[in-house]
Structure 1
Amino acid sequence: MKEADIVIVGGGPIGYAQAMAFKKLNKDLKVVVLEKYPEFERKHTLVMQPKQLEKLMIATGAQNDPDLKKLLKTLRKKPHIRTNHIQEQFKKIAEAAGVETVITTVEEKTKEGIPVPEKTIDQLVLGYKPKLIVGADGTHSVVNEKLFPKGNHEHTEVDFAMQIRYEIEGNADTEKSWEKSVSFYQNLARQGLVATQQIGKKDPETGKTPITVQLIIPKEDYLPLKQFTAKKAIKPFANDTEKDERERFAKVPPHLRNFISNHIESVLMGSENGKLDKDSIRISVNELPASKAKKVVTEYKGADDSLEEPVQISLNGDAALGLSYFKGFNAGLEALAKYVELLKPALVGDLDKKLLKEKLEDYQNWFSLFADKKIDEVKEYSALKIKPAFKIVKFVRKMKGFSHFEPPAQKEQAIQSYFRLLTKTHPGDKIRYEPYPHRAYNPDIKLGQFAYVPIRYSLKKMGKLFIDFFKPYKGTYQLANDFKQPLVGTVNITSGLVKIVTGIVKPSRFADGLFTLARGLLELALWPLAWTLKPLLRGLITLIDNKPHLIEKNHGMEKLAARGEELLQEEIEETFSFVKAKLLLGICHDLHRKFDKANQRHQKTGLHSEKEEEIYATLIPKTQEEGTISFKAAQQYIGLFVGKKLSEENLSSSNEEASGIDNVF
């Protein structure tokens, strides 16, 4: 084993930034980086402050380094960068300057948990006979654990988070990004959530753009999911072990699952300029603490004080200070710049041990104050921005729930079926995400939504204001909705005016705004009648009618079920096509959407909702290898609503005769 002046444990961005800095100050220093993985595994997006890189460049006298200047220029234009990209750039500069990388695991253990003798710190790290060891190995630092006093890591609980990470092929669609941002935050408010979204830079090699959505979640949501860390993330739509992943995804609380599904759906519907990589979708949780090492400088004399002279040890990066809300990396760079500045007299010489120890103590004194300040900033950020934001969105959610009850539509099956359908297409085919291809527009329209609302929908709602006077009540929801009409009208007037103002240069948005405004004005104009004549008239019709109005007997449900029955009959008679499979899936999704919505609104039904949910869940086979749609499950599901089912014997025999057709498509 070669000797080295400095050994850095951990080859992440901070580890290589430190190695690079050492070589910038003294090209003769022998620096070794010990890293566990040959390729950096983290690929999420950071917001990197250019000023922190500039501080490091000044501290090392590298203001004219062409690679760093180029990076600085890029960050000033767009500070979002992938973790692995910044690591690769620092690594490239460091290794070009002579830094050696060794792929190994420090303190490695066998499967039985027994330490591997040759991989202990004493054998592996001290074997280089370094004058300085740097622990840049993350929050769970081995260097901190093995070489510093016990209890050196101080943990402050702040918040908890869920990350949704995915990649778009090509550039993320930035056109009308402000419109998408409004829709994004509306979706958050409906679920009572707070989140941020980071769009990274397209990878020139893969052609993909990373996107990270970070949700702030309460502790009660975090605890049941804490096993799903970044390394054990849920991949709800991936091909590998798909069955298990869907079961893991089912453990996510419903309101979080609804947001995730709605968000993924919005990405699919708006990805004309890019394509969502389903295998890249990962969901993980983590604590957002503020943690620090009480001591970031110490001496080590080896096991049983075996060394003649102690080795100086220091901690940097997350090993020294772990901060949430994307503040940790920038704080790490800022601390590194100060570290290099203070140690410069020792580094530019021959690493005089006495001087090195003295300068490290100076750094410890500075760091103690710095760490406390940064932790206070995180706590203040949470108290002033996160907690109030939670209260606001919860208030908005309650108001929207009072003004207009909107049962969340379940989108997971629709998204899953879309990804399955893609497996039946040819490479390069452009297949739009259409959860309800039998409809002229997507019916999942929310009150006050900023996204485009079809004019046909607004006209339909305006017509219902009059038609409903002469229809019986199907449940208490409709009565309550009559009394909410003035609030709904106020929301529509406000939404319409906003759309008119923002749509001056866009005819479709302007027209949408006009009709939304007209709907709101009509709702307010009819408000007195909605509170007086309408309940009396509808109540009288309900009494005269005197029969239960079952969900499955709703006109829309009967039409959908009849169309589904026709498609299944066509499957019996002829080879089923891609288009027909897509239509059948859409009809089943629509039936479930309408049934679930009416059921949540407490309309009566002759069906068992658990049975409906159970059969609907089997519509899509559990794994991709099993197919896209189970015709047997579709037959059973549609049979729930038509009161009968097609002959399974006919279905089975015809499948055997049809080329390539089995129970699944």
Structure 2
Amino acid sequence: MSNLVKEEQSAQIVVIGGGPVGLFTAIQIKILLPQVNLVIYEKHQQYERNHVLRLNKMRTFFGLPPSLLLKNMIDNLPSVVRTNVLESQLLELSKQLQIPIVHRNIENLNQFSDSRVIIGADGSHSIVRQLVFNNKMEYEKVLKYVLEIKYEVNGQGQKLDFIKYQYRTQKQLKYLVDEHIGTQKENRTPITLHLLTDKQIYEQMKSATFKQPYYLHSHQHLIPKDVLETITIWFNVKKEYANEQRIENSEKITCITLAVYQSSEFVYYNEEKKQYTCLVGDAAFGVPFFRSLNNGIMCSKKLSLCIQSCFSEYSSQTYRSGDLLTNLKFALKKTKNELHYLINWNKPLNAYNQYVHVLANLEVIFAEKKAALLFAREMMNKITGTAPCQVNKWSSSKVEKFKQTKNDNNESEIIMNDDVDTMEMDDENYELVQEFDLVT
């Protein structure tokens, strides 16, 4: 019998989902409880998502378990990082801590009947939430409908000057446009446009998924006229005033819903099996605007401390290998958590359930308010665009020129390339991906 099979059979803690939050949770538990048998299950051999995350390092990582390995990894993390980069670093740290990872798609939990804790960190479509919590939601709502256009340009991409060009261009567009310029690599720069649309446009274009995106050059007949006009005007202004040269056929269009959702509960105790099941990360709740990963890591900190208290017979102080400041931060966090346990009748995972409820409620309110600000920004753009007296605006002839889909000098706008291999597409569930921001 292999060592991995033995570890699976004797696993006291099982983590379903080996994404960033699942790995962070497992790593913290292993640091706090090095003698406990813990196994991670992940269905993908390689992490498939490649979108950008923003980390609030001061808030998110405060009070992590003292560990030089963990501290060094976090210290070297940039505040803006791609998911696959973060994933690879966490995987390496998991290997150093000798945490076994089994690549298997879990469809039921029967095989884990002897485990004391099952942690569902398996994302927005959590199988753990479906099987144990009956997928019951306390809150679920689509805040915004968004079209995402990804393309590449030759050389270093540039933003439009806001006063001279961007402001007056935005007023001519039906849909609010937000632009993100990526990092140049091999003389190419990836650019992402987000168009705030509505449910009607979403219903018309929802077949444009990340696995099967629309391409601007071949799906124009499927794109609503006002959306196509918005894209055309923006591209033509960028060509003329930012000297943008797009890579031919690199324009991929997909539909996204910015959604908030919250599970009705986050902890379940099976009296018969004497087994806890917990949700963490997107399995527990999800919000947009670059906050979902940060929230997931914060919940993982709380969960790992609560689980440490549940396994007090295995608790060890040998994990204290961080510097003095890290140790003090962790001691403060742990003391605060122990006080929280007391007001929950000394039931640590009840305290975790309460903590996530409070955090999720606050984050849903924040997301609703930010969505309202986006709506106000949309309305302001429409008002300024229709005001009778405008100083900073394009002439009518310029606007008509920008609406043209073909130019005499088209070669300077498009760079011919027969071997276009643009940004990696994220997985099939990207429509629920929560790492997204439009307010800059």
CA deviations over 1:186-215 (Å, ceiling 9, x no partner): 433311322433344567xx7865443322
Is residue 103 of structure 1 aligned with residue 103 of structure 2? Answer: yes
Match of 1:282 in 2: 252
**Aligned equivalents of 1:267 and 1:357: distance in 2?**
61
Q: Which has the larger radius of gyration?
A: 1
* Partner SS, residue 137 of structure 1: coil
Match of 1:218 in 2: 198
**Aligned equivalents of 1:337 and 1:181: distance in 2?**
44
State the shift of 1:15 in Å.
1.8
* Partner SS, residue 128 of structure 2: helix
More helix by share: 1
Which amino acid letter does the alignment assign opposite residue 166 of structure 1? Y
Match of 2:176 in 1: 194
Q: TM-score, normalised by structure 1?
A: 0.50
Is residue 45 of structure 1 aligned with residue 76 of structure 2? Answer: no
Match of 1:655 in 2: none
Match of 2:297 in 1: 333
State the shift of 1:219 in Å.
1.9
Which amino acid letter does the alignment assign opposite residue 254 of structure 1? K
State the shift of 1:395 in Å.
1.4
Note closer, same or farther for the CA distance 1:288–1:106 as it changes in structure 2 (3 Å cut).
same
State the shift of 1:325 in Å.
2.2
**Aligned equivalents of 1:35 and 1:133: distance in 2?**
14
Is residue 67 of structure 1 aligned with residue 92 of structure 2? Answer: no
Match of 2:229 in 1: 258
Counterparts in 2 of 1:580-599, with a 5 A limit?
Answer: none
Note closer, same or farther for the CA distance 1:291–1:208 as it changes in structure 2 (3 Å cut).
farther
Is residue 366 of structure 1 aligned with residue 355 of structure 2? Answer: yes
Match of 1:19 in 2: 26
Match of 1:311 in 2: 275
Higher mean displacement: 131-140 or 192-201? 192-201
Counterparts in 2 of 1:482-497, with a 5 A limit?
Answer: none
**Aligned equivalents of 1:424 and 1:210: distance in 2?**
17
Match of 1:294 in 2: 264
CA-based RMSD: 3.7
CA deviations over 1:592-629 (Å, ceiling 9, x no partner): xxxxxxxxxxxxxxxxxxxxxxxxxxxxxxxxxxxxxx
State the shift of 1:394 in Å.
0.8
Match of 1:640 in 2: none
CA deviations over 1:254-293 (Å, ceiling 9, x no partner): 2222333444456666887x97555653221122121111
Match of 2:428 in 1: none
* Partner SS, residue 64 of structure 2: helix
**Aligned equivalents of 2:288 and 2:130: distance in 1?**
21
**Aligned equivalents of 2:414 and 2:153: distance in 1?**
18
Is residue 156 of structure 1 aligned with residue 127 of structure 2? Answer: no
More strand by share: 2
Unaligned runs of 5+ residues in structure 1 are 108-119, 238-245, 302-307, 428-665
* Partner SS, residue 139 of structure 1: coil
State the shift of 1:416 in Å.
9.1
Match of 2:328 in 1: none
Note closer, same or farther for the CA distance 1:271–1:227 as it changes in structure 2 (3 Å cut).
same
Is residue 183 of structure 1 aligned with residue 165 of structure 2? Answer: yes
Match of 2:433 in 1: none
CA contact (8 A) 2:248 2:416 kept: no
Match of 2:378 in 1: 390
Q: TM-score, normalised by structure 2?
A: 0.73
Which amino acid letter does the alignment assign opposite residue 269 of structure 2? E
Unaligned runs of 5+ residues in structure 2 are 316-340, 421-440
Counterparts in 2 of 1:377-416, with a 5 A limit?
Answer: 377-383=366-372, 385-399=373-387, 404-405=395-396, 406-407=399-400, 409-411=403-405
Is residue 29 of structure 1 aligned with residue 36 of structure 2? Answer: yes
CA contact (8 A) 2:160 2:238 kept: no
Which amino acid letter does the alignment assign opposite residue 97 of structure 1? L
Note closer, same or farther for the CA distance 1:214–1:59 as it changes in structure 2 (3 Å cut).
same
Higher mean displacement: 207-216 or 42-51? 207-216
Work out the number of aligned pairs and report it: 379
**Aligned equivalents of 1:30 and 1:279: distance in 2?**
50
Note closer, same or farther for the CA distance 1:400–1:90 as it changes in structure 2 (3 Å cut).
farther
**Aligned equivalents of 2:103 and 2:67: distance in 1?**
28
Which amino acid letter does the alignment assign opposite residue 226 of structure 2? H
Which amino acid letter does the alignment assign opposite residue 20 of structure 1? I
